[in-house]
Amino acid sequence: MAETIEIPVCGMDCAECAAHVERAIGGLPGVEAVTVLLAAEKAIVHADPARVTPEVLRAAVEAAGYQVPAAPTPQGRGEAGAAVARRALMLFGLIFGAVLFVVVVGEWFGLLETITARVPFWIGAGLVLLAGWPVFAGVIHAALHRQVTAHTLMSLGVLAALAVGEWATAAVVVFFMRVGDGVERFTAEQARRAVRRLDALAPQTARVEREGAEVELPIAAVRPGDVVVVRPGERIPVDGEVITGQATINQAAITGEPMPVEAGPGMNVFAATIAELGSLRVRATRVGEASTFGKIVRLVEQAEARRADVQRLADRFAGWLLPVVVTLAALTLLLRRDPLATAAVLVVACSCSFALATPVAVLAAIGGAARRGLLIKGGRYLEALARADVLLVDKTGTLTLGRPRITEVIALGERSEAEVLALAAAAERYSEHPLAEAVRVAAVERGLVIPAPQRFAALPGQGVRAEVNGVDVDVGNARLLPPGFSLPPVAESLADAGRTLFIVTIDGMPAAVLAAADGERPEVARALAEARQAGIREIVILTGDSAPAAAGLAERFGVGYRAELLPEDKIAIVREYQARGRRVVMVGDGINDAPALAQADVGVAMGVAGSDIALEAAHVALMRDDWTLLPEALRLAQRTMRVVRFNLGFTVVYNLVGLSLAAIGLLPPMLAAAAQSLPDLGILANSARLLRTREPANPPSQTPELQSRAA
């Protein structure tokens, strides 16, 4: 029977590295399946334990050119010295390439011809080979495994350029190869940071009752059935059921909802949520990786691995161009017996414009997007955005502001709404509950005078009690209502619409019902309409909130909704659409959205309001709380793909013409090497159009709160 074996793998910098490791392990006898997680730096292998051991796996990984550390480091990285060496080598390659790029550009205009002419060829060739060796080694490794990439074609061009004495042209090709590799390494490291920051949020210890005493144990030592003690302000370390105690629980890490819940005996609580007020005794049901939070971490890792990488357009062209070039060069040598013409064919086939066609357009688009507050983490996400047709949206903190506000005050007695609200704000003056802040803000916005309470006390599981101007004022949930008292129909209708209700009693008698809700972002309706114009065919709200609250919001925006969801439900919905061949964009802001953001073809995080975990897991970040940036990202992606297609089409036509001229002897090697630079300016100029940002015709109006904050 197959068993699952996990081994750490160091040295992977890009998707191709992960693919190499996967093929190396997958080819072993007894291996049924293997998944390599680039971000988590590990391989998950399903294999026959009698035939596949950790030692066999280690040998296969090392034979592929990567390392299996004896024990993972705290952050899952390799040795510090090796990491420093890799960074130093990459930095050297980039600086070297940049200097040579300036030299060659000067030579194009005849400014530095005398300087480059004085550099001995062996020095230039040696520097090219040294700076490009990491790339060349990868090409050799790929060739041994019968693989062809864009680097294969460009490396062939480098060798051909050196063969005809054009070391400067070879250096430019190496430069762009190294820049592309650097971008991939950066993207991979960002993914790793997302996983590491998730791990950091998980509680590492728990206070467990053992033989009548409280003992602090590592999470690995806690077992289902243990009783865990949670004190005010602590993270709950396990999934479990409350035995005794009352507490206000912030569950945003799991559900993403801003409204805290009141936990009491019999209620289920989740690991990594926070007991903000009160203490609890919890009987553990799921611990560590089996907990809901542990599942979130695994889902982020698995989504990163299972997400189909959009193959780079340059690799697609390389797949057919390389055999065409080699065949044409062989025919030229065979039929014309002309080594110079043969060299010219190899040189002209790998013009710098081929290397520039995709990355320059992508870098220009990413640079232009950054000016507008859009952080895009790679070219493949631009391509996926350009083809997206489904938009899935988290509700709280994404469509809404993520801050409760008082929407209605319903007086139940002789006192006016203003008088009751002022007394309630006074009672909540010293409370740290999020709804208390909403009450105080509502009173201030109405210009009410908030008196100071003479005394104050928290009522666990109910609310607060204070003495204000000689009367007792209680503010809290429905438990404060006297027996037999029922809420008026208007309050019941507000509850059905998804409002959070709490009661104000004065001297024990109900005085008012306060209704709270999360405010909507004012620019969302316009942004969703523009997203539809940009090609989005279906928009669905995903939320852990109640169905009534989601239904009202969905109806106002004219979209669909799925309510009362956990993180695993959201990622399942993303996969459901992807299984039907849809291209999914997921927009979220919280830790609970991270798995779905990673699984989606493009995950978009709200930057200012979003959690750091969401920002790391997502592929695009809106660095301002401005929803109009989303349709702008869709339009930019479509423009970028049009520019890339033009660049590649132009490059292909140019190469075909150059190959034909070189094969018949009309383009000698020296001229072929020089001709590589001719289309570059056109490619650069065409791509530079993406640097220009297009301001929206009607900028979204800001709320007074945002305007005052900006001021």
- Residues involved in catalysis: 394
The three-state secondary structure class of 410 is strand
d(CA 610, CA 693): 24
For residue 531 the two structure tokens come to 């997203």
d(CA 356, CA 350): 11
d(CA 276, CA 231): 9
Residue 52, φ and ψ in degrees, nearest 5 = -120, 120
Do residues 560 and 541 make contact, with C-beta atoms less than 8 angstroms apart?
Answer: yes
Do residues 421 and 446 make contact, with C-beta atoms less than 8 angstroms apart?
Answer: yes
What distance lies between CA 633 and its chain's CA centroid?
15
Q: Is residue 660 within a helix (H) or strand (E), and if so which, with residue range?
A: helix 629-663
Do residues 209 and 236 make contact, with C-beta atoms less than 8 angstroms apart?
Answer: no
Half-sphere exposure of 248 (CA within 13 A, CB side): 20
522: burial class by Cβ within 10 Å (0-12, 13-18, 19+)?
Answer: middle
For residue 460 the two structure tokens come to 């666990």
d(CA 590, CA 603): 12
The three-state secondary structure class of 160 is helix
For residue 388 the two structure tokens come to 């997206």
The three-state secondary structure class of 226 is coil
d(CA 212, CA 218): 19
d(CA 166, CA 158): 9
308 CB neighbour count, 10 Å cutoff: 9
- Count helices and strands (H / E) in the chain: 26, 23
Residue among 322, 25, 26, 312 at smallest CA distance from 147: 322
C-alpha to C-alpha distances, 129 to 134, 259, 380, 526, nearest whole angstrom: 9, 60, 29, 54
Do residues 20 and 144 make contact, with C-beta atoms less than 8 angstroms apart?
Answer: no
Residue among 254, 259, 290, 289 at smallest CA distance from 269: 254
Amino acid, res. 10: C
